[in-house]
Amino acid sequence: MSIFESIDRPTLLLNEKQARQNIAFMAEKAAQNGVRFRPHFKTHQSAEIGEWFRPYGVSEITVSSVDMAEYFADHGWNDITIAFPVNLRQVQAIDALARRIRVGLLVESTESAAYLARHLTAQADVWIKIDVGAGRTGLPWQQPEKILPILQVCQSSHPLHLRGLLTHAGHTYGAGSVERVRQIYAETLQRLESVHAYLSQASRSPLELSVGDTPACTLVEDLRGVDEIRPGNFVFYDAEQTLWGTCRPDQMATAVACPVVAVHAEREAVVVYGGAIHLNKDFTTYQGQRAYGLVALPEANGWSEPLEGAYVSSLSQEHGLVHVPERWLDRIQIGGLLMILPAHSCLPVTALKSFLTLEGRRIDTLNS
C-alpha cells in the first residue's frame, strides 16, 4: 500500500490495467460490428490516455468543448468532432482549428448554420443534431421537415460539409435496466433512420449516422446499423453503470481516495475530506437513497469490492458524509483512507485535474 501512504488529500486513482481492458473491449466490439470507433475523450481528458486508443487504429475522436479540441489537436489528433451545439461566440477559435485539422460541428438551427456559413473560412464537417427522445438538445426526430432549411444552408455554403445525423440518446443513463437500454437503442436507430429516409432525397451526398452512449454501446450486441459510435464513459465506467448492470464492479477503473477525518459510529457515519469541489455534486440512486458514490476499502492492489450498504449520502464544499453500516466500521479509522467510487466518473476528472495510477505514476489531463 506504499503509494497510498503519501496521499494527504482527495486523489483520483486510476487502475490503468482495467482502463486499458475497457478500451480493448469497446474497440474490438466496434471492429467486429464494422463501425467506426470515435471515442469521446471528455471522460479522461488526457493526452496520455488518448494514446492507449491508437493501437486499435483509432484516429478520430469526440470532445465536448473547443478547448478540449485544441488540447487534443496539440497532441496529434487531426479529426475531432466537438459534440456540443456549436458556440457561435467561439467561431474564430473554431475557424483557426479547422485550418489545422478536420473538425466536426453540431448544428441544430438554421441561424447557427447561416452564421457558420458567413464566418468560417476553413471547411468544417456539419453533423445535424437529432433529439431521439432525451429532450436535451437537437431537432425533434418527429419533425424532419424542420431540418431541410439547414440542409439547404449547408449545401449552398462552401465551408460547410454536411456529414450526417448525430444523436446522443442520453436517456439510456436514466433507463434503469439492461432491457430498457436495449429498447431505447432500437428506438434510437428507428428514429434516426426515419429522419434519414426523409432527408435522403434532398441531400446531395449520403448522410452518415453517429450514435454514442456508453450503456447502449456496451449492452447492445448488434451495432451495425450506424456508421460510428462515440461512447466515452466506458473507459472508466462508474458506480451508476455498475448499479444498473452495464458493467461489473471490477470494471470500474477510477476511485477517489479520501482521508477519513471523523467516525461517528452511533449514527453509522464517516466524514471524509472529499466534497463537492472534488467529486462534483452528481448523484445516482442506491438502495432508494441519493448516493454521490459507493465506498470501498484500500487494498494492496487497489480497492475492495464496494461495501454493501455503504454510500456517500451528502457532500458539502470539502466534506463528504458517508453512510457506513455498523459491520464495516471496525475497518475504518480516522487518518485512514476511504475509496469513493464516484456516481459518475467524468466530473471528478475535471475537478481533480490529474490521475495517480496504482503503480504511483501521475497522469496529466487538460486541466493539469
SS3 state at 286? strand
Q: How many residues bind a copy of itself (CB under 8 A)?
A: 53
**Residues 86, 165, 184, 216: which binds a copy of itself (CB under 8 A)?**
86
**Residues 16, 59, 60, 90: which binds a copy of itself (CB under 8 A)?**
90
Residues 6+ apart with CB under 8 A from 330: none
Residue type, 274: G
Q: Are 56 and 31 in contact (CB under 8 A)?
A: yes
| Torsion 130-132-138-139 (CA) sign | positive
CA angle 146, 150, 156 (to 5 degrees): 145
Q: Are 356 and 11 in contact (CB under 8 A)?
A: yes
Whichever of 288 and 335 has its CB closer to a copy of itself, that residue is 335
Whichever of 315 and 341 has its CB closer to a copy of itself, that residue is 315
285 near a copy of itself, judged by CB under 8 A: no
Q: Are 338 and 297 in contact (CB under 8 A)?
A: yes
Locate 66 and state its grid cell: 473547443
Of residues 118 through 177, those in contact with a copy of itself by CB under 8 A are 135-137, 140, 170
**Residues 38, 42, 44, 163: which binds a copy of itself (CB under 8 A)?**
42
Whichever of 29 and 323 has its CB closer to a copy of itself, that residue is 323
Shortest gap between Cβ of 36 and a copy of itself (angstroms)? 23
Whichever of 156 and 317 has its CB closer to a copy of itself, that residue is 317
354 near a copy of itself, judged by CB under 8 A: no
For the chain, counts of helices (H) and of strands (E): 12, 22
44 near a copy of itself, judged by CB under 8 A: no
> In the stretch 220-259, what mask flags binding to a copy of itself with x, by CB under 8 A?
---------------------------------------x
282 near a copy of itself, judged by CB under 8 A: yes
Termini Cα distance of the chain: 25
Q: CA–CA distance from 344 to each of 56, 164, 227, 233, 348 (Å)?
A: 26, 29, 27, 8, 8
Quickly list DSSP for 183-240. Answer: HHHHHHHHHHHHHHHHHHTT-SSPPEEEE--HHHHHH-S--TTSSEE---GGGT--HH
271 near a copy of itself, judged by CB under 8 A: yes
Among the candidate windows 15-23, 177-185, 238-246, 343-351, which touches a copy of itself by CB under 8 A? 343-351
Residues that bind a copy of itself (CB under 8 A): 7-9, 42, 64-65, 67, 84-90, 93, 108-109, 111-112, 115, 135-137, 140, 170, 259, 261-263, 266-267, 269, 271, 273, 276-277, 280-283, 314, 316-319, 321, 333-335, 346-347, 350-351
